[in-house]
Structure 1
Amino acid sequence: MTAPLVDIRAVSHRFGQLAVLKNVSLRIESGSYTILLGPSGSGKTTLLSILGGFVMPSEGKVFIRGEDCTAVPPARRPTTTVFQDYALFPHMSVGGNVGFGLRMQGVDGATRAAKAREALALVGLASAFDKKPHQLSGGQRQRVALARALVIEPAVLLLDEPLGALDLKLRRQMQDELKAIQKRVGTAFIHVTHDQEEAMALADHCVVMNDGRIEDEGPPERVYARPATRFSATFMGESTILSGKVTERGDRTSTVSTPAGPVLVRSALLVGSAVALAIRPEHLVLDGAAGTASLGMAKVGDVVFQGSFKRVLAASVEDPSLQFIAKLPATATVQSGDTVAVSCDTDQIIVLTD
């Protein structure tokens, strides 16, 4: 089996008595776009800092291209980091900023300038070579930081919430550009974010972190459609969660008793075991449909128009503490105060046993 580009082995880290990473192991392949996704305090930024050499792990090893880089300083690693605040030198031209890493490597001025121009052309800023950073927009400065990181041709590019300071429209534009650039250069990108939509837009390898551990990892389509844990199901997109107990088991199905009534699921589960059923908003149906399983009646609370769809919150009539989250077409006529039948396609129910 081919060795991974990055191999993180049983890494733990503590700040004083606070454990921020707990026995994390992760393999990252060449040419991949990996997203480290999680809430504040999950350990994702600390893990990125360990990969970049800015933090030495309390325990464990980090291998890059088969070499033990655990104690190697940042300047000697085959990695470069793009920070959220860009960290550009205000007194230098854009070209000088982009070529700075090459200058530190002893590359001559003519070669530096040529490579800096190539890198700026790659990020769509060929005409900005002689400008100063303050003359550029936030999105343009982010591209300069990206060009500066790519010009030294790292094996791994580390991105620490690089789009966090941008407005929504620009953030989405930069997502498209980041993915396109990554495909063109072929460098492995490892990108930290707490934004689930950003993760799904960019990643081909999504790593969900919580409380210093990896909860789930894999292609974003799998992590979203079939999350491994309850936390992953609720953090990687929204879900309605039905807690229940298995009451009957067939060859390939089981019946689960829930606050919304008995639900048939496409899994053979142990009778008496406690499970949670997760249902994505797009799989909930209001006011019934042929071939769907009933989840009882619910009273509609909030209806929020979000452009291409309406996000609907509705409380179960049988158990008002149970909140359904549905995503309906923008043309749906449902209104706050309506009482509606709730159902779903049983094939789309996610069974969580953690």
Structure 2
Amino acid sequence: MTTLVSVRGVSHRFGTHQALDNVSMQIDPGSYTVLLGPSGSGKTTLLSVLGGFLVPDDGRIEINGVDCTALAPAKRPTTTVFQDYALFPHMSIGNNVGFGLRMKGVPRDERDRKAREMLAVVGLEQAFDKKPHQLSGGQRQRVALARALVVEPAVLLLDEPLGALDLKLRRQMQDELKAIQKRVGTAFVHVTHDQEEAMALADHVVVMNNGRIEDEGTPERVYARPATRFSATFMGESTILTGRGITPGRVATALGTFAVEGVAAGAEAHLALRPEHVTLGAGSDATVRDVVYQGSFKRVSFAVNGEPGLVVLCRLAAETPIGEGQAVKISADPARLVLLGD
């Protein structure tokens, strides 16, 4: 598959702050890439570099094989959807959607036709003559999408587009975003700090921290086999077990001794354990520290006896009878432990 976007060794500073530090990645045609990370991780800066709103201090951006590093936003094959949607309140929805075509000199009849077609794609064909204030937040978000897509960009950039929506509407819009992306076939690059949003939307997740890419791949791979400690704790929850190699390939931890490929005798190792891979009924003595009911499951934390500071997270069926202060035994599924890099 031909690469659509190539980011090569991109770095950028704001004063003394290193916002991006030698970032390299590729984006394939038709993919849904999510840049995931906490505030200050560099994800929004990278999106701004892709969109042409920032020229990086070092590195190169290629789109469809063309060097776009220093091109202005209007001259590159990208469009951006911002969190506030930035619709023109005095214009009709049809004129909002057709605005980019108007700037390109497209005749009125043609841009109205294309605007109607794109509004139909996002399910708002009846809103052509309405004003933005007459629509809900989710509908305005879809209008912003239609306006960005009608100019047929090679890449659509989305800067936390669901951040202003309530939880129910955000989840609904996740489904709609993914469906629209599949329908139009445009590559989407979406910035968020929400792990669930990333897993719901992406086929390519890029986990960022301190201006660098910590991990990237399919959501399934990044969740099941995180590359680093940060990735394991940011892309979903994990308990990090610290152990020491007792023989080549075997590690002793607070929850037992496990076979872990790549660990030398005497070496310190860090292992990621997901909550759903902790089981009750055998293993190490522990005390229930906290129980949080979350509808379809209970999120339980355990203090492991004799291991000060170690708290193990577990996800149990909602009907499991368990309470704070209860003495239990817990164990880890050895096949699910992941040896972490630095």
Q: Which of residues 328, 331, 336 is equivalent to 1:340? A: 328
Number of equivalent positions: 342
Distance 1:118 1:200 in 2: 30
| Partner residue, 2:184 | 185
| Partner residue, 1:326 | 314
| Partner residue, 1:83 | 82
| Partner residue, 2:271 | 277
Distance 2:255 2:129 in 1: 67
Contact 1:305/1:330 (8 A) holds in 2 = yes
1:261 CA drift (Å): 4.9
1:147 corresponds to 2:146: yes
1:172 corresponds to 2:180: no
Contact 1:265/1:349 (8 A) holds in 2 = no
| Partner residue, 2:296 | 308
The 5 Å alignment of 1:57-206 reads: 57-206=56-205
1:256 corresponds to 2:251: yes
Distance 1:278 1:263 in 2: 14
| Partner residue, 1:297 | 285
| Partner residue, 1:34 | 33
Runs of 4+ in 1 over 6 A off after TM superposition: none
Distance 1:140 1:320 in 2: 51
Counterpart residue type for residue 226 of structure 2: P
Contact 2:276/2:316 (8 A) holds in 1 = yes
Contact 1:233/1:278 (8 A) holds in 2 = yes
Q: What SS does the corresponding residue of 2:10 show, helix, strand or coil?
A: strand
1:268 CA drift (Å): 3.8
Contact 1:301/1:314 (8 A) holds in 2 = yes
Contact 2:251/2:260 (8 A) holds in 1 = no
Distance 2:123 2:294 in 1: 31
Contact 2:255/2:332 (8 A) holds in 1 = no
Deviation per residue, 1:159-214 (Å, 9 max, x gap): 00000000111000000011111111110000000000000000000000000000
Q: What SS does the corresponding residue of 1:145 show, helix, strand or coil?
A: helix
Q: What SS does the corresponding residue of 2:285 show, helix, strand or coil?
A: strand
Counterpart residue type for residue 201 of structure 2: L
Distance verdict in 2 for CA 1:280–1:60, change over 3 Å: same
User: What TM-score do the two structures reach when normalised by structure 1?
Assistant: 0.95
Distance 1:43 1:53 in 2: 15
Distance 1:339 1:124 in 2: 54
1:320 CA drift (Å): 3.4
Deviation per residue, 1:296-325 (Å, 9 max, x gap): 111112111111111111111121310011
Q: What SS does the corresponding residue of 2:177 show, helix, strand or coil?
A: helix
1:263 CA drift (Å): 2.0
1:335 CA drift (Å): 1.1
Counterpart residue type for residue 188 of structure 1: A
Counterpart residue type for residue 292 of structure 2: V
Q: What SS does the corresponding residue of 1:287 show, helix, strand or coil?
A: strand
Deviation per residue, 1:208-251 (Å, 9 max, x gap): 000000000000100000001000000000001111211112xx
Q: What SS does the corresponding residue of 1:27 show, helix, strand or coil?
A: strand
Comparing 267-276 with 30-39, greater Cα deviation is found at 267-276
Contact 1:98/1:147 (8 A) holds in 2 = yes
Q: Alignment RMSD, CA only?
A: 1.0
Distance 1:340 1:129 in 2: 61
Q: What SS does the corresponding residue of 1:113 show, helix, strand or coil?
A: helix
1:47 CA drift (Å): 0.2
Counterpart residue type for residue 266 of structure 2: G
| Partner residue, 1:246 | 245
Distance 1:353 1:15 in 2: 29
**Percent identity of paired positions between Structure 1 and Structure 2:** 67
Contact 1:285/1:342 (8 A) holds in 2 = yes
| Partner residue, 1:53 | 52
1:345 CA drift (Å): 1.4
The 5 Å alignment of 1:9-28 reads: 9-28=8-27
Contact 1:3/1:66 (8 A) holds in 2 = no
Distance 1:219 1:181 in 2: 20
Q: What SS does the corresponding residue of 1:95 show, helix, strand or coil?
A: helix
Q: What SS does the corresponding residue of 1:301 show, helix, strand or coil?
A: strand
Counterpart residue type for residue 279 of structure 2: V
| Partner residue, 2:280 | 286
